[in-house]
């Protein structure tokens, strides 16, 4: 099963719409920023937080990038 298939299957089983390819790309970019700016465990937690906001993943990735340059 590819990652995209797994995510689609998981989303459907959870009663949610799966992300588009563009959304998946932005989510992965957000995860990369979080992981490289802190520790790897920050990536899934940042993505969870992002998912609870209802805001676009690209907007939240930009927010995360701003945090990583604020040091």
Mean pLDDT (whole number) for 41-58: 91
Residue 25 is predicted with a pLDDT of 94
Assess whether pLDDT exceeds 90 at residue 55.
yes
- Number of separate domains in the chain: 1
pLDDT of residue 38: 86
In terms of residue numbers, what domain contains 44? 20-69
Asked whether residue 26 is assigned to any structural domain, the reply reads: yes
In a domain, 46, yes or no: yes
Q: In the chain, pLDDT over 90 holds for what percent of residues?
A: 70
DSSP states of 22-50 as a string?
A: HHHHHHHHHHHHHHHHS-TTHHHHHHHHH
- Return the SS3 of 8: helix
| φ/ψ (deg, to 5) at 38 | -140, -110
As a whole number, mean pLDDT of residues 27-47 equals: 91
pLDDT at 42 over 60: yes
Is 49 part of any domain? yes
Residue 14 belongs to a domain: no
């Amino acid at each position: 099963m590819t990652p995209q298939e797994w995510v689609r299957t998981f989303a459907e089983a959870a009663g949610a719409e799966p992300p588009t390819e563009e959304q998946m790309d932005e989510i992965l970019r957000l995860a990369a920023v979080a992981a490289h700016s802190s520790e790897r465990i920050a990536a899934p937690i940042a993505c969870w937080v992002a998912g609870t906001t209802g805001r676009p993943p690209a907007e939240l990735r930009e927010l995360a990038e701003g945090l990583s340059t604020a040091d």
